[in-house]
């Protein structure tokens, strides 16, 4: 009888040991909740995450959300304490989330065996996550703008502003051919404007991002260029439907999202893509930058697992797959950009080259407001001839600096 009881106790201990072991393993295999935009196809991301789970032992619970309602849903989740571990976040929203203490400072995770070398990212994309010198996310994808030109009108694209203006005078035909699709004001024009300010050797804000500087000489020169190009770009031409595609505009500034439509719908259009002209020989071929980042929320119960996930999606050649098949934009990792999907397309190669000097938007929490309500309106005013560039930009800078001051 004693021997029988001993066997029962031994079996019980073995079962208990097995259960505890199973619990420890299960506890170690953390679950990461991930919120993303709804893509055209879920398969590529689902397959990648399945591979991630197999390689790491972590479990990913993914939620697909339509892009139009994404920011509203994230803000609601944060306000109600129901934020995911990880989500996409539009670049200009990172500063606000960081300052509000919603997302984690990731610098501690970048060190050691599971860390990263920040130099392996495109610096413009990485800088969209740098707030006050600290890293609050990893770039997921990026895009920028470059110069489209009609090869029938412009056999060789301009390199400097002087060449661009010279080209403008040569191709211009009043009411028939416009030299450039001059950017309008408003939010779109204000998003493009920093590329021209940087191409004149300037910046939108000072080094510590405490005040704006777009009213200094580079900004004035950039706005004067737009006004001058308007002289050779009649609105009745540039505002007509598909004017560039139909051969009525020599140059325009836009992004890679135009390529498929040009190629599929306008097969007779002979166009090229070049770097945005710079003011002088020593100035950069600058551009602006757009895209999304991956952030980890402070409320995350599994920050290490969350870090492992965002590193997996951005810090390997898999980033090329994410961008090509899920988000539709360009890789943020220099190594991933060597993927044939980008290197075999001459136009995409130009955009990748342009991305090397793409400027991150100022990491100011109120920048979207300044972009749309201050800079955009100032550009509209100057382009309509309702004030000299110097005066218009000075007034806009005063308003912008007041917003920055009130936001602190």
What confidence tens digit (pLDDT) does each residue in 11-69 have? 444 444 433 333 333 345 799 999 999 999 999 999 999 999 999 999 999 999 999 99
Say if residues 277 and 158 touch (Cβ distance below 8 Å): yes
Does the pLDDT of residue 267 top 80, yes or no?
A: yes
Q: Are residues 172 and 116 in the same domain?
A: no
Together in a domain, 257 and 226: yes
Rounded Cα gap, residues 401 and 363, in angstroms? 14
pLDDT at 301: 94
Domain count for the chain, please give it.
2
Same domain for 269 and 171? yes
Q: For 353-386, what is each residue's pLDDT tens digit?
A: 999 999 899 999 999 999 999 999 999 999 999 9
Q: Is residue 190, in this structure, part of any structural domain at all?
A: yes
- pTM for the model: 0.88
Going from the C-alpha of 217 to that of each of 117, 209, 389, the distances in angstroms are: 36, 18, 10
pLDDT at 28: 53
Distance from CA of residue 104 to its chain's centroid? Answer: 20
The string of DSSP codes covering 313-381 is HHSSTHHHHHIIIII-SB-SBTTGGGSHHHHT-HHHHHHHHHHTTEEPPP--TTHHHIIIIIIHHHHHH
Contact 44, 16 (CB under 8 A): no
- CB contact at 8 A, 383 and 185: yes
In a shared domain, residues 305 and 235: no
In the block, tokens 């197999």 appear at 54
Q: Measure the CA–CA gap between 50 and 316, rounded to whole angstroms.
A: 16
Residue 322 belongs to some domain of the structure: yes
Higher-confidence residue of 97 and 6: namely 97
Looking at residue 204, what DSSP letter applies? S
Q: Are 304 and 280 in the same domain?
A: no
In a domain, 20, yes or no: no
As a whole number of angstroms, the distance between CA 359 and CA 125 comes to: 8
Residue 8 predicted with pLDDT over 60: no
127 vs 7 pLDDT, higher one: 127
| CB 1 within 8 Å of CB 53 | no
Q: For residue 247, tell me if it sits in a domain.
A: yes
How is residue 66 written in tokens?
A: 């339509």
155, part of any domain? yes
Mean of per-residue pLDDT scores for the chain: 92
Q: What is the pLDDT of residues 185-229, one digit of tens each?
A: 899 999 999 999 999 999 999 999 999 999 999 999 999 999 999
Is there a single domain that holds both residue 282 and residue 305?
Answer: no
CA 190 to CA 382: how far, in whole Å? 13
235 & 338 share domain: no
69 close to 40: Cβ distance less than 8 angstroms: no
Based on the domain organization, do 224 and 277 belong to the same domain? yes
Same structural domain for residues 281 and 226?
yes
Query: Would you state the pLDDT for residue 9?
Result: 41
396 in the same domain as 270: yes
Give the pLDDT score at 185.
82
Judge if 112 and 151 occupy the same domain: no
Do 335 and 230 share a domain, yes or no?
no
- Residue 238 counted as domain residue: yes
Residue 10 lies in a domain: no
* 398 SS3 class: helix
Residues 6+ apart with CB under 8 A from 307: 106, 109, 114, 296
| Residue 119, domain extent | 30-142+290-359
Percent of the chain, pLDDT > 70? 93
- Distance CA(348)–CA(329), nearest Å, equals 10
Given 337, 359, 381, which residue is the final one in a domain?
359
Q: Please enumerate, as own/partner, the contacts of 98-101 that have beta carbons within 8 Å and a separation of 24 or more.
A: 98/131, 98/132, 98/134, 98/136, 99/131, 99/365, 101/298
Phi, psi at residue 141, to the nearest 5°? -150, 170
CATH number, position 261: 3.40.190.10
In a domain? residue 221? yes
- pLDDT tens for 115-159 read 999 999 999 999 999 999 999 999 999 999 999 999 999 999 999
15 burial (CB, 10 Å; 0-12 / 13-18 / 19+) is exposed
């Amino acid at each position: 009888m004693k021997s029988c009881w001993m066997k029962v106790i031994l079996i019980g201990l073995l079962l208990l040991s097995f259960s505890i072991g199973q619990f420890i393993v299960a506890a170690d295999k953390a679950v990461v909740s991930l919120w993303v935009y709804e893509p055209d196809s879920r398969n590529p991301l689902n397959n990648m995450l399945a591979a991630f789970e197999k390689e790491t032992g972590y479990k990913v619970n993914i939620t697909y959300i339509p892009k139009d309602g994404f920011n509203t849903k994230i803000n609601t989740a944060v306000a109600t304490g129901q934020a995911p571990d990880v989500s996409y976040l539009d670049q200009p929203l990172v500063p606000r989330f960081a300052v509000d203490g919603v997302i984690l400072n990731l610098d501690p995770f970048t060190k050691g065996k599971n860390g990263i070398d920040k130099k392996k990212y495109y610096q413009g994309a990485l800088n969209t996550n740098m707030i006050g010198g600290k890293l609050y996310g990893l770039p997921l994808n990026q895009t920028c703008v470059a110069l489209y030109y009609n090869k029938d009108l412009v056999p060789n694209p301009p390199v400097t502003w002087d060449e661009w203006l010279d080209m403008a005078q040569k191709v211009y035909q009043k009411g028939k051919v416009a030299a450039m699709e001059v950017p309008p004001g408003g939010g779109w024009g204000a998003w493009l404007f920093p590329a021209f300010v940087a191409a004149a050797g300037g910046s939108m804000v000072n080094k510590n991002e405490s005040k704006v500087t777009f009213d200094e000489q580079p900004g004035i020169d950039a706005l004067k260029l737009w006004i001058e190009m308007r002289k050779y770009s009649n609105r009745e031409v540039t505002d007509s439907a598909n004017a560039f595609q139909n051969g009525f505009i020599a140059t325009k500034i836009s992004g890679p999202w135009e390529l498929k439509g040009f190629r599929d719908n306008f097969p007779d259009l002979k166009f090229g893509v070049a770097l945005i002209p710079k003011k002088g020989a020593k100035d950069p071929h600058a551009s602006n930058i757009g895209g999304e980042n991956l952030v980890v929320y402070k409320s995350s119960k599994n920050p290490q697992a969350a870090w492992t996930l965002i590193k997996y999606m951005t810090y390997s050649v898999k980033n090329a797959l994410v961008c090509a098949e899920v988000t539709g934009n360009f890789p943020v990792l220099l190594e991933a950009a060597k993927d044939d999907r980008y290197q075999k397309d001459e136009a995409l190669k130009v955009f990748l080259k342009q991305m090397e000097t793409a400027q991150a938007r100022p990491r100011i929490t109120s920048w979207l407001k300044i972009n749309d309500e201050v800079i955009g309106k100032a550009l509209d005013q100057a382009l309509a001839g309702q004030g000299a560039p110097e005066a218009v930009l000075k007034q806009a800078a005063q308003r912008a600096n007041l917003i920055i001051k009130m936001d602190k």
